[in-house]
A and B are shown apart, each in its own frame.
Chain A
Amino acid sequence: MLHDVYKSVGGFGSYGMISMIIFIVFFALLVLYAISIRKKDAEDFSRMPLDDFSKESDEIQDS
């Protein structure tokens, strides 16, 4: 089926095929890595913007 899809895209040819393979391999590795991150690390990193050591000005804004 994939082959039919490629054939229907005019001039896609080998350039397109190579490009798709490069991306799919790259994307698959990326997803695997993302899944493998420890939950605690991911939570710590996602909190980084909240931890900027300038609480005084935050309090002024929130007051």
Chain B
Amino acid sequence: MENQTFYYDNKIVRNFAYATLFWGVIGMVVGLLLALQFIWPALSFGIPYTTFGRIRPIHTNAVIFAFVGNGMFTGIYYSLQRLCKARMFSDLLSKINFWGWQFIIVCAALTFAFGITTGKEYAELEWPIDILVAVIWLVFGANMIGTIIKRRTQHIYVAIWFYIATFVTITILHVTNSIEIPVTFFKSYPVYAGVQDALVQWWYGHNAVAFFLTTPFLGLMYYFLPKAANRPIYSYRLSIVHFWALIFLYIWAGPHHLLYSALPNWAQSLGVVFSVMLIAPSWGGMVNGLLTLRGAWDRVREDPVLKFMVVAVTAYGMSTFEGPMMSTKTVNAISHFTDWTVGHAHIGALGWNGFLTFAVLYYLLPKMFQTQLYSKKVANMHFWIATLGIIFYAVPLYWGAITQASMWKEFTAAGFLKYPNFLETVTQLRPMYATRALGGGLYIIGILLGVYNLIMTVKAGTFVPEEAASAPALVKRSASREQGEGIHRWLERRPVQFILFALIAILIGGLIEIVPLYLVKTNIPTIASVKPYTPLELQGRDIYVREGCYTCHSQQVRPFRSETERYGEYAKAGEYIYDHPFQWGSKRNGPDLSREGVVNGRQYKPNSWHYNHMLNPQRLNEQSIMPVYKWLISDDLDISTTAKKIRVMQLFGVPYPEGYDKIANDDLMKQARGIADDLKSQGIQVEPGKEIIAMIAYLQRLGKDVHAAGNPTATISGK
């Protein structure tokens, strides 16, 4: 058949590549600032916009969605066209995808800095941006599927299967986890509460790792590794098993983020079992990648692209072994809430995603600019400095995690906690935190060398915006299965049916885990003494969410003696039923707060302590790493939103009395005056209308319902 000539769109690939480099530097520099704040808390500069709780989401979102996201689009737009032997379906959709994604990133950075957040990790974007993400993601999907449909190859290569699974699953995850009711343009509450919210969130959170950080990059591995090594993929059969087993299993594993929590035991156990089983397909993929290099290992010594790829695939293997191990209850009891999780996440992000992204950039930019890489020597420097950076980053965190977990759990011979002051367990880690910052700094130096090398490469070359290619047109075949054609062979040439099968594979696990939690009432036993938050506490809770307190403090006491001795009663599902969103957290840089308000409890502090702590934590304890929150004392509480917030809560079934929204602010001011009077009696003059009063009200409420089985300090009129 006669060849058709067509042109690959390299402009869109180049634009995404530049964006990858730009956001990579920004995201990691913010990460370095966060790391330094553990050593010098003054680096939050005493202003809201640079506190840990606000810039941590900037760092995570910038690295995941900006750096890795743009890197993913770079690789997909390059490889998809070549694997389909077709230009992208629509140049307009490509441009909308590119500019829309960059606009979202800018919106995310600004809103997080201003404290506009949903308070759900890796899903912090507020509802208008969530909608924008959905639209742009669908644009990407339409463009990708359109390209696959108009392809000139009969068979859809395995890399594209991974791209399809990425698109389908992220769509489902994002939409399901982002169902929220707006209160204002910048504030919403999720429809889920407490345990249900936690399960949906970590179903999303875990699978964002799976389907945003893993499957698209496996697709890139299956394209770029054979290209760079000039070898076919080791085993196509293995890739088929790898793909289906991986997407089927991954979706079940989310509850391993909630072990020993108030989540029902059966859901936790499902998470553990499927997480351990995940080792098999994950290592199948790693082995397939590494064995592709058989006969080409001598080139790994010389070729920086292959060097980066080998370390990337090895890091994938390490983190996909470590992840299932951390999912077992024995290891999780030690690792959870510690820096082990942070170390684990960074082996994946810096090693797997970061190194594979740079391998892809080092491969495709010289090709698109018709030149060679400016300097192999600089690329090798980048490789070694960044590799050292990863080691210096992760090893101290593992060490620190085991140190801290051991200190949390150690008892004296007399049966008391050996380190009852949480801060002791933090100050012990300062050397590890300093070394981690050094590791992060080294990784950034490596990236800057990489950026320099690529800029010089681009300068030296001539860009080919429209790359000519030719291939015969696709021969039309029957839509139904031909004689002797297996189901999978048929699927491999039918993109729409392939999408449906992938959708079914990922939905099975999600539905079996999540639906019973909504249908079976016994999963969440109610506690009669648990009452809705008062209006002031509700406003205080929103300030808690705004400041990102959950990034350092958990609200979930695990059923270990070491935790109940330190904090109080262990967590129960029924105590969170009014928590929209849940605030269990995933890391303890400070102590758990869920029993903070229990008078005479182990964690209880008077109102004046909270006031002074927010004003200047280092004045109470100079070793403290908590940032100052002095603006809470000077800023007025916005009570114009109270009525709307009450109405939205009523929509969710929170039992505020009918018409309560109209008088909620009266109750709010009454409770606020009580706190202000108490502070006054301690010699602290503060008006009742300040944000600090609401924050104190919320903190003093935590745990009270469960412990007292009786009266919260404030009441709701009409109850």
Contact = CB atoms under 8 A, between A and B. Distances in A.
Contacts of A13: 266
Query: How big is the A interface, by class?
Result: 35 or more
B486 A33 contact: yes
Contacts of B82: 49, 52, 54
Interface in A18-39: 18-20, 22-23, 26-27, 30-31, 33-37
A42 interface: yes
Interface in B520-549: none
Contact of B367 (A10, A20, A23, A61): A61
Given A9-B273, A15-B266, A30-B245, A37 B237 contact: yes
Given A49-B223, A54-B467, A54-B469, A23 B248 contact: yes
A53 B241 contact: no
A18 B240 contact: no
A11 B264 contact: yes
Nearest to A5: B273
A57 B237 contact: no
Given A11-B264, A19-B509, A50-B232, A30 B157 contact: no
B508 A22 contact: yes
B83 interface: yes
A12 B270 contact: yes
Name A's interface SS: helix
Contact of B272 (A9, A19, A57, A63): A9
B370 A15 contact: no
Given A42-B237, A49-B223, A49-B227, A11 B232 contact: no
A7 to B, nearest CB: 11
Given A11-B264, A33-B240, A57-B367, A49 B226 contact: yes
B273 A12 contact: yes
A1 interface: no
Contacts of A53: 85, 469-471
A48 interface: yes
Contacts, number: 125
Query: How big is the B interface, by class?
Result: 35 or more
B265 A10 contact: yes
B241 A30 contact: yes
A49 B236 contact: no
B85 A61 contact: no
Contacts of A43: 232, 236
B244 A46 contact: no
Contacts of A12: 266, 269-270, 273
B235 interface: yes
B226 A50 contact: yes
B375 to A, nearest CB: 15
Chain B CB within 10 Å — which of A30, A33, A47, A52 has the most? Answer: A52
A37 B155 CA distance: 14
A61 B8 contact: no
Contacts of B467: 54, 57
Contacts of B230: 50
A36 to B, nearest CB: 7
Interface string B482-497: 0000111100000000
Contacts of B366: 60-61
A18 B469 CA distance: 50
Nearest to A44: B155
Contact of B244 (A19, A26, A58): A26
A9 to B, nearest CB: 5
Contacts of A11: 264-266, 268-269
B615 to A, nearest CB: 45
A50 B573 CA distance: 54
B383 interface: no
Contacts of B508: 22
Given A11-B264, A43-B236, A52-B85, 9 more contacts: A9-B272, A23-B274, A36-B486, A46-B235, A49-B79, A53-B471, A54-B82, A58-B367, A60-B367
12 contacts: A9-B269, A11-B266, A15-B516, A30-B240, A33-B240, A34-B240, A36-B486, A47-B226, A49-B82, A49-B157, A52-B82, A57-B467
Interface of A: 9-13, 15-16, 18-20, 22-23, 26-27, 30-31, 33-37, 41-43, 45-50, 52-54, 57-58, 60-61, 63
Q: Which 6 A-B pairs have the closest CB atoms?
A: A11-B265, A11-B266, A52-B82, A34-B237, A46-B232, A46-B236
